[in-house]
Every structure is written in C-alpha cells, then in structure tokens.
C-alpha cells in the first residue's frame, strides 16, 4: 500500500522546517507568499491529507460521541439509528458499545471509549448496573453526558426517556377494561428505574379500579425471553393463576406466550397478554400481540440533540429532562370484549 505523504516529506523536499510547512498549510501570514505557494502546490502534488485526529486534538474535540447501550434489540437499535441520524447532521461520528446487560462489560466499554478520545457520552445503563461510580468518574473528567431510556438513578445529567409509568398504566388499564380480574406483571430487574416505573403504572391502574394487589403476581426477571418463559410457567401452575399478564418488554411477552401455548390456554379468552415496545415480531405471532409503543427513533434523536446543544452551549443543562409519551397498540392477544383494528 502506498505510504501517505506527511509534513516531513514536504519540508524535506523544499528544504524548510516542518513548523514552516505547518504554518503555510494553515495559510498564516508569518510565512512568505512564495513559500506558502510552494508548500500548497507540493501538498497537492503529493496528495497530502492532514491528520484529522491531530487537528481535532488541537481543537480539543474529535467530534465523536461514545454511545453505551444494554443490547442491540429492535427498540434499542432504533434509538441508535435516531442518535446516528442527528449526529450525522451535526457533523459527529458515533461509536457504539453494548454492555449485553453486564455491569462489568459496561465499565470496560466506558474505559475503551475514553481511550478512543470521544467528546462525550450518551448512555443507557445495563440491567445489572446498580453502582454508577464509573459514570460519575466521567463527569469528574468534565465529559459531557446525556442519559437516555434507562436512566441511572442518582445521576445529575440531561435525560430523555419514555413516560414508563404511563406505559404500565395504559397496558394494565386496557386489560382491566377487557374484563380481566387477576393481572400479573413480568418486571425487569428491581435495580432498574425503568422497570420500577412501569410497575408503578401497573399498580396505579389496579388501585384506580379498586382491584386487589397480590405480590405473588409481581415477578422480577431479566429482559430475556427464556427467563420470562420459565417465570410464566410458574405463574400458570399457581392454584389461583393470573388471567392476564403484562410483560414490560415484547421479548418477555413472547416468552410468556410460549409458556401459555404450551399450557394449551387460549389467548385472549383464557388469558390476556400485553407486551411493550412494538417489536415487528408482535404483528407476526399468533395471536398478534397487544403492546405499548414507544417512540424509539425520536428518543434517540432527542438524546443526540441534547448532547449537541450541551457541546455548543455554556448553559447548565444538568436538570433538563425530556419525557416522551407511549401509545397503546391493541391486537388479538388481549381483545376479549371488543373488536379493534390492528
């Protein structure tokens, strides 16, 4: 492969110093016009390309955003697309690392992105994360940070999220209105604020409709289809089993659906089911899965927009929080009493 021409090559050919070449390429007036002209002509002849990283470091910016996400499922990858689109429009490059729901891997990703000299971070925490010292260290190093979707509790930073309590409320209220009497919820990890907020919405709907809260109906498990499958199997062998389930993520709802079918129960007549995220698979399964849609692409764009505003403003944005509204999508898995179009 042909070697890239450098400032030293130009300096050696013209018998001048590298600092003179550097100043000539920047078109500074302390270099003679004829010298500047000779440097420019030779640079073009040698197809010289400036070291972009060095230029960025000179300006103390690389125009690169480090994005840390828990996984690359449908909804999170859609958020990343939103981040990337907004970043591209503003002249930024995005470097994405996924923690795969691992606290340890999240710490490693944080360090690697720091070593890559990113300007700052857009972060959605892992399911295992309940200590946030690694995020606080980034702030101590004056690295701009925006938190999105899964918000780290106790962090003072700009945030953008879905109204997760409203999402849990919409799903549970719908099931109640369909006539279901004993509604279970498949939550995520207890350490995750997002999961607890969706549970709060579930509890709010039950209380609002005068329904008894049964702690046996509140199940904590990982954001994982297999975990949800086994958790649902346990629910279905209870003496007083649930007649409806709200799973706080579609992949958990799919796991629940597999357990329900294995038990040969009919949806929605024997048991109702609602998920969350509106993953494309929810329209393809039988019966089609009711779900709560979140504006994932818009959430990603908003997170990137907040980051770029923070980079270009002296305003303190620490306490800024943007909350986007979810939308209930009613399909066959929970439609017991009324016909609703898909």
115-156 confidence digits (pLDDT tens): 888 999 999 999 899 899 999 999 998 899 999 999 987 889
Residue 274 pairs in a beta bridge with 246, 290
| Rounded distance between C-alpha atoms, residue 35 and residue 145, angstroms | 45
One DSSP character per residue, 168-207 reads HHHHHHHHHHTT--SEEEEE--TT-HHHHHHHHHHHHHHH
What distance in Å separates the CA atoms of residue 148 and residue 76, rounded to the nearest whole number? 10
* Domains, the chain: 7-50 (1.10.260.40), 58-162+296-325 (3.40.50.2300), 164-294+328-334 (3.40.50.2300)
Whether 277 and 250 have beta carbons less than 8 Å apart is answered as yes
Question: What stretches of 62-216 show up as alpha helix (H) in DSSP?
Answer: 74-89, 103-115, 133-140, 164-177, 193-208
pLDDT in tens, 183-227: 999 999 888 899 999 999 999 999 999 999 999 999 999 888 999
> How does 204-217 read in b/e, with b if 16+ C-beta sit within 10 Å?
bbbeeeebeeeeeb
pLDDT at 315 over 70: yes
The answer to whether residue 34 scores a pLDDT higher than 80 is yes
Cβ count within 10 A of residue 142: 7
CA separation for the pair 252, 73 (Å, rounded): 12
């Amino acid at each position: 492969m042909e070697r890239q021409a450098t400032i030293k090559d130009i300096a050696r050919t013209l018998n001048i110093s590298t600092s003179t070449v550097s100043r000539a390429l920047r078109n500074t007036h302390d270099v003679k016009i004829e010298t500047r002209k000779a440097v420019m002509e030779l640079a073009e002849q040698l197809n010289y390309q400036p070291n972009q990283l060095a230029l960025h470091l000179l300006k103390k910016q690389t125009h690169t955003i480090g994005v840390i996400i828990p996984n690359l499922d449908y909804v999170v990858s859609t958020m990343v697309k939103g981040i990337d689109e907004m970043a591209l429009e503003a002249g930024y490059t995005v470097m994405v690392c996924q923690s795969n729901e691992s606290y340890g891997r999240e710490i490693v990703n944080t360090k690697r992105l720091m070593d890559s000299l990113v300007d700052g971070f857009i972060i959605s925490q892992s399911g295992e994360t309940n200590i946030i010292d690694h995020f606080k260290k980034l702030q101590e190093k004056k690295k701009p940070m925006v938190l999105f979707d899964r918000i780290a509790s106790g962090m003072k930073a700009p945030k953008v999220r879905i109204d997760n309590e409203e999402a849990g409320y919409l799903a549970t209220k719908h099931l109640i209105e369909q006539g279901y009497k004993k509604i279970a919820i498949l939550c995520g990890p207890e350490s995750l604020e997002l999961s607890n907020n969706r549970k709060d919405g579930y509890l709010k709907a039950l209380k609002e409709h005068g329904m008894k809260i049964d702690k046996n109906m509140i199940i904590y498990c990982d954001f994982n289809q297999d975990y949800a499958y086994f958790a649902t199997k346990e629910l279905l062998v209870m003496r007083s089993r649930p007649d409806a389930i709200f799973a706080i993520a579609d992949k958990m709802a799919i796991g629940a659906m597999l357990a329900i079918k294995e038990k040969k129960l009919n949806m929605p007549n024997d048991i109702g089911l609602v998920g969350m995220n509106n993953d494309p698979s929810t329209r393809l399964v039988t019966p089609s899965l009711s779900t709560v849609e979140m504006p994932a692409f818009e959430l990603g764009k908003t997170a990137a927009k907040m980051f770029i505003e923070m980079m270009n403003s002296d305003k303190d944005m620490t306490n800024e929080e943007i909350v986007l509204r979810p939308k209930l999508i009613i399909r066959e898995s929970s439609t017991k009493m009324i016909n609703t179009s898909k």
